[in-house]
């Protein structure tokens, strides 16, 4: 236990952990215990590991002394040395502590006694030949038997017949059929049930495989999956980036990511003399008409035509490769059209190509040939 003392002072110092009081001795230049040995009053055991110190348990009113024995190396097995708080007794003749309750006492001392108020049996805290500490039954309400108990109070009994006296959840190891049973008691009658009953469990007697699976071995069957090939199903490895780019292995599979990264090496960019991959031009690129490395879709061309013709004045004539005039144009086929509907065009061409009915209509120019000619209205 390490103590952190304050600077020298005329006032006593009380350690907050152990509860011990110290006085600074100017002669020796250090702190020393106020009493030898001190007695600490506390509801819990103090953090002290010095033999001879006393502790008064203010909860149960008992006095304890910190005791250290030397063990017994000559015993078989040897008993190791131990140190613990031991309850002091008013007489010179020490006796084992006896506690009662449903559950075993916490932190018991060796050879301490406990009377189980649930099953009516007396137990002793015992060190077995292997050195393990456990509660062993010192008395039995029924016939004598060797029973060890845990914290829950259930007993374990071994023999060729079930115990004549038992408690619910007691265990019995049947030495005849080598099976462990638990007393699953209903009412007043004991009902010994196998802890692991395999008599009605279906067992696997054989293993078969089909397709890409194969089975080897009989005592310990091993199931394997054959490798895939170009002619049979099986397991297959994913190609790495190098294998995807080289494209020379037929024994690996391409993942979407590797395929995507490899496409660039499979196809080259298209030119005006080499087939390959090509990018679609945007609407702005179609209208600009300066890029020689991109393609125009029919829809892109259709959408761009009106914009291409926006600078042509009313009455302007163009040649068009279609059979029907584009939007904003009339085919130059000599047709008679309304002066009101096409007032802007009439204002430009008037009756140059014909007066129509002389009042409400006028005639369009008649330009024959292929491609067709169209006039903007």
3-state secondary structure of 262: helix
Of the two residues 168 and 146, the one the predictor is more confident about is 168
pLDDT at 35: 61
pLDDT at 56: 84
> Cα separation of 350 and 340, whole Å?
12
Average pLDDT, the chain: 80
Contact 294, 281 (CB under 8 A): yes
Q: Which of 244, 367, 266 is nearest to 317 (CA)?
A: 367
> Cα separation of 73 and 53, whole Å?
26
Token pair in block for residue 98: 């006896």
Contact 181, 191 (CB under 8 A): no
Reply yes or no on whether the pLDDT at 315 is more than 50.
yes
pLDDT at 188: 60
Give pLDDT tens digits for 255-278: 998 888 877 777 778 887 888 788
Of the two residues 280 and 309, the one the predictor is more confident about is 280
The region, left, alpha or beta by phi > 0 then psi within -120 to 50, assigned to residue 358 is left
Q: For the residues of 179-201, what is the DSSP string, one character each?
A: EEEEE--BTTB--EEESS--TT-
Reply yes or no on whether the pLDDT at 342 is more than 70.
yes
> Which span out of 61-65, 122-126, 249-253, 329-333 was modeled with the highest average pLDDT?
329-333
pLDDT at 244: 83
User: How would residue 151 be classed by pLDDT, with cut points 50, 70 and 90?
Assistant: very low
Reply yes or no on whether the pLDDT at 185 is more than 70.
no
User: How would residue 371 be classed by pLDDT, with cut points 50, 70 and 90?
Assistant: very high
What is the average per-residue pLDDT within 69-77? 73
Of the two residues 321 and 42, the one the predictor is more confident about is 321
pLDDT at 367: 93
> Cα separation of 285 and 61, whole Å?
98
> Which span out of 3-12, 27-36, 149-158, 175-184 was modeled with the highest average pLDDT?
175-184
pTM to 2 decimals? 0.25
What is the average per-residue pLDDT within 130-143? 67
Q: Which domains does the chain have, with CATH numbers?
A: 44-194 (no CATH), 233-266 (no CATH), 269-308 (no CATH), 312-376 (3.90.1340.10)
> Which span out of 34-43, 225-234, 259-268 was modeled with the highest average pLDDT?
225-234
Cβ burial 136-165 (10 Å sphere, 16+ → b, else e) = ebeebeeeebebbbeeebbbebeeeeebee
Q: Write out the H or E segment, with its range, that includes residue 301.
A: helix 298-308
């Amino acid at each position: 236990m390490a103590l952190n003392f304050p600077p020298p002072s005329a006032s006593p110092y009380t350690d907050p952990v152990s509860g011990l009081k110290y006085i600074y001795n100017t002669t020796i230049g250090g702190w020393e215990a106020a009493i030898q040995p001190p007695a600490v009053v506390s509801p819990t055991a103090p953090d002290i590991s010095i033999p001879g110190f006393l502790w008064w348990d203010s909860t149960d009113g008992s006095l304890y002394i910190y005791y250290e024995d030397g063990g017994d190396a000559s015993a078989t097995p040897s008993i190791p040395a131990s140190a613990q708080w031991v309850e002091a007794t008013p007489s010179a003749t020490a006796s084992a502590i006896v506690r009662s309750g449903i559950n075993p006492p916490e932190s018991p001392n060796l050879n301490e006694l406990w009377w189980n108020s649930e099953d009516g049996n007396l137990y002793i805290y015992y060190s077995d030949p292997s050195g393990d500490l456990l509660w062993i039954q010192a008395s039995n309400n029924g016939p004598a038997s060797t029973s060890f108990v845990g914290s829950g109070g259930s007993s374990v009994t071994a023999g060729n017949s079930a115990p004549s006296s038992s408690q619910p959840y007691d265990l019995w190891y049947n030495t005849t059929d080598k099976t462990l049973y638990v007393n699953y008691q209903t009412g007043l009658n004991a009902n010994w049930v196998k802890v692991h009953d395999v008599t009605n469990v279906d067992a696997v007697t054989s293993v078969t495989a089909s397709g890409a699976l194969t089975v080897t071995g009989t005592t310990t069957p091993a199931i394997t999956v054959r490798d895939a090939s170009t002619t049979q199903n099986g397991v297959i490895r994913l190609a790495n980036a190098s294998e995807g780019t080289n494209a020379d292995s037929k024994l690996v599979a391409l993942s979407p990511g590797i395929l995507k990264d490899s496409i660039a090496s499979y196809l080259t960019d298209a030119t005006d003399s080499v087939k390959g991959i090509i990018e679609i031009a945007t609407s702005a690129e179609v209208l600009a008409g300066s890029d020689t490395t991109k393609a125009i879709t029919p829809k892109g061309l259709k959408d761009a035509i009106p914009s291409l013709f926006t600078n042509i004045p009313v009455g302007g004539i163009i040649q068009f490769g279609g059979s029907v005039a584009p939007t904003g144009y009339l085919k130059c086929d000599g047709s008679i059209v309304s002066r009101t509907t096409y007032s802007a065009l009439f204002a430009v061409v008037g009756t140059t190509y014909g007066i129509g009915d002389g009042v409400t209509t006028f005639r369009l120019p008649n330009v024959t040939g292929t491609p067709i000619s169209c006039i903007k209205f």
